[in-house]
A and B are shown apart, each in its own frame.
Chain A
Amino acid sequence: AQSVTQLGSHVSVSEGALVLLRCNYSSSVPPYLFWYVQYPNQGLQLLLKYTSAATLVKGINGFEAEFKKSETSFHLTKPSAHMSDAAEYFCAVSDRGGTASKLTFGTGTRLQVTL
């Protein structure tokens, strides 16, 4: 069964500092991996996805993530945090590559950005 672990339910960074949100997955087959962002009282928006092409994936709003098979990780980074990045971030894994199927989500990491 697929699973995702997000380390740290809350992360606080200063504006302009590096953002690093951690995600580790377990999967018996090469997975599809996703990061979604949820702003307060809104639905989830896709930030980026890994679909077995390039291991470094660039997404919207300056975010990127690197797929590391040896570490079973898919950490999300952004070089310089902005106040507007404050939100909850979810890592998710698909149990079958190539076609839409059930997504398994992590428990989420709430990012706080301070002045």
Chain B
Amino acid sequence: NAGVTQTPKFQVLKTGQSMTLQCAQDMNHEYMSWYRQDPGMGLRLIHYSVGAGITDQGEVPNGYNVSRSTTEDFPLRLLSAAPSQTSVYFCASSYRQQGFDGYTFGSGTRLTVV
């Protein structure tokens, strides 16, 4: 089925470890983004990309890195995990043309940093 696929679904990391959250979409969407969801804070934008080779920072980029080498994939890297990065992470994608239809979200990655 077409959509946004996130892996893994669950992850426990130790403080200081690094890891990559994977996101892939098969809808040929130009726009992709990463959000984190924390209780009482809604979703906050970490990084986004308007196309392959183009990325930019969102509201809470510190401690995260992204790259976009293909249209399909948009991995999120945690450089040195901290307990403050315990959260649920969502990847989203959309077409970028006029008549924006809203984003398609993945099912999330629940990350715990101990």
Contact = CB atoms under 8 A, between A and B. Distances in A.
A, B assembled together = yes
A44 B100 CA distance: 17
A100 B31 contact: yes
A105 B102 CA distance: 13
Given A100-B31, A102-B58, A108 B98 contact: no
Contacts of A104: 45
Interface in B36-88: 40-45, 48, 50, 58
A103 B107 contact: no
Given A44-B90, A45-B105, A99 B100 contact: yes
A102 B45 contact: yes
A43 B98 contact: no
Interface residues of A, number: 26
A43 B107 contact: yes
B30 A100 contact: yes
* Nearest 6 interchain pairs by C-beta: A43-B105, A100-B31, A105-B42, A107-B42, A100-B94, A105-B43
Interface of B: 4, 30-31, 33, 35, 40-45, 48, 50, 58, 90, 92, 94-103, 105-108
Interface of A: 9, 32, 34, 36, 41-46, 49, 51, 90, 94, 97-108
26 contacts: A32-B100, A36-B105, A43-B90, A43-B107, A44-B90, A44-B92, A45-B105, A46-B102, A46-B103, A51-B100, A98-B99, A98-B100, A99-B96, A99-B98, A99-B100, A100-B31, A100-B94, A100-B95, A102-B33, A102-B48, A103-B43, A105-B42, A105-B44, A107-B41, A108-B40, A108-B42
